[in-house]
Amino acid sequence: MPVRNMIDAIRDAIDVAMAADDRVLILGEDVGVRGGVFQATKGLIEKYGESRVIDSPLAESSIAGVAIGMALEGLRPIAEMQFADFILPAVNQIISEAAKMRYRSYNDYSVPMVIRAPFGGGVHGGLYHSQSNETIFMHCPGLKMVVPSTPYDAKGLLLSAIADPDPVVFYEHKRLYRLIKEEVPDGHYTVPIGQAKVARPGRDLTIISYGLMVHFALEAAAALAKDGVEAEVVDLRTLLPLDQDTVLTSVRKTKRAMVVYEANRTLGPGAEVSALIAEHALFDLDAPVLRVAGLDIPAMPYNQVQEEFFLPSPDKIAKAAEALMAS
């Protein structure tokens, strides 16, 4: 089976979808000749032509808004936001329009579209090329919000997202694009939206995470194992709808829980996970629910010292796990 990194898996997913269904098209800044600034769409304009691979004007609200219109008329647009930091001008179109179209029209109209965006830090992107702003969309019923952490999942989830009849926000961690390779089948397969995965089984505590942080959690778990602590790592994969069962089942088993995320700590996605546990598994807990998260500062600084300081790391996660085991 071919081995692919995440960016290749994503490009392959788009290619497979475009080959199978001529309603699928892509639009975004530099997605055409340039193949996207991360090369997620490389070669597609040559293959599918300018009318299905649109180098859009530099205007995110229009990228989302025009994609909504395309979807209303039966196309299956995949819109790319060049960086998740720059999705903000499109937030009105996404939240007011895409997320509410089916609901407000009582099922008469719908918006089957995907919005892809590279997010996350640790790539020397400074304040505006490192953000993790998924909270905005996770709080928004009518949307789905997906964040893969492996090449295999990225392809399978993206194919699910493209086929999904509702708008899906699809966040790809920039640092994962080329970090890991694994076997990724050719052709069509899907990973279902809304299902978390136990990335590593364990009995002593549960670390719940998504995106790059899953790998940091796994590293931490490996280190903890050396001291005889068996951490279970849950990869959420989808933030909305959240797979409560997988989370709660794990926590009920281990009796200790920690959420790791890179977004600002306050009201980041981990707040919801923690609240769910506090509501549904409180009597199972032997320890407080910890959060290891991005700092509560406006965004991740550029210089490497402060970038590291901002981000959760395997070491920080392991330390928190030790504290959790001690309480």
Ligand X SMILES: Cc1ncc(C[n+]2csc(CCOP(=O)(O)OP(=O)(O)O)c2C)c(N)n1
For position 128 contacting other proteins by CB under 8 A, the verdict is yes
Cα 97 from Cα 19, distance rounded (Å): 29
Closest to 113 measured CA to CA, from 140, 133, 94, 132: 94
Q: Which one of 47, 96, 275, 286 is in contact with other proteins (CB under 8 A)? A: 96
Q: Which one of 5, 15, 20, 72 is in contact with other proteins (CB under 8 A)? A: 72
Least distance from C-beta 317 to other proteins, angstroms? 18
CB atoms < 10 A from the CB of 178, how many? 13
Q: Which of residues 223-252 bind its own copies (CB under 8 A)?
A: 240, 242
Is 129 an active-site residue?
Answer: yes
Q: Which is nearer to ligand X, 29 or 232 (CB)?
A: 29
Least distance from C-beta 284 to other proteins, angstroms? 29
For position 88 contacting its own copies by CB under 8 A, the verdict is yes
For position 323 contacting its own copies by CB under 8 A, the verdict is no
Select from 87-95, 191-199, 214-222, 309-317 the region that touches its own copies (CB under 8 A): 87-95
Q: Which is nearer to ligand X, 59 or 297 (CB)?
A: 59
The two structure tokens encoding residue 193: 């939206």
Q: Which of residues 11-50 bind ligand X (CB under 6 A)?
A: 29
For position 277 contacting its own copies by CB under 8 A, the verdict is yes
279 interacts with, out of ligand X, its own copies, other proteins, none, CB within 5 to 8 A per kind: its own copies
For position 138 contacting its own copies by CB under 8 A, the verdict is yes
The 257-264 sheet, strands edge to edge: 197-200, 231-235, 205-209, 257-264, 290-294
- What is the 3 state secondary structure string of the chain? CCEEEHHHHHHHHHHHHHHHCCCEEEEECCCCCCCCCCCCCCCHHHHHCCCCEEECCCCHHHHHHHHHHHHHCCCEEEEECCCHHHHHHHHHHHHHHHHHHHHHCCCCCCCCCEEEEEECCCCCCHHHCCCCCCHHHHCCECEEEECCCCHHHHHHHHHHHHHCCCCEEEEEEHHHCCCCEEECCCCCCCCCCCCCEEEECCCCEEEEECCHHHHHHHHHHHHHHHCCCCEEEEECCEEECCCHHHHHHHHHHHCCEEEEEEEECCCCHHHHHHHHHHHHCHHHCCCCCEEEEECCCCCCCCCHHHHHHHCCCHHHHHHHHHHHHHC
For position 86 contacting ligand X by CB under 6 A, the verdict is yes
Widest distance between CA atoms in the chain = 60
Q: Which of residues 263-292 bind ligand X (CB under 6 A)?
A: none
Total residues contacting its own copies (rule CB under 8 A)?
51
Q: Which is nearer to its own copies, 271 or 318 (CB)?
A: 271
For position 244 contacting other proteins by CB under 8 A, the verdict is no
Least distance from C-beta 230 to its own copies, angstroms? 22
Select from 52-60, 203-211, 266-274, 275-283 the region that touches other proteins (CB under 8 A): 52-60
269 interacts with, out of its own copies, ligand X, other proteins, none, CB within 5 to 8 A per kind: its own copies
Cα 216 from Cα 313, distance rounded (Å): 6
Least distance from C-beta 324 to other proteins, angstroms? 24
Q: Which one of 10, 140, 217, 251 is in contact with its own copies (CB under 8 A)? A: 140
Q: Which is nearer to ligand X, 12 or 80 (CB)?
A: 80
Q: Which is nearer to other proteins, 14 or 184 (CB)?
A: 14
From the candidates 129, 188, 215, 280, give the one annotated as an active-site residue.
129
For position 297 contacting other proteins by CB under 8 A, the verdict is yes
**Amino acid in the structure at residue 126:** G
Kindly list the catalytic residues. Answer: 129
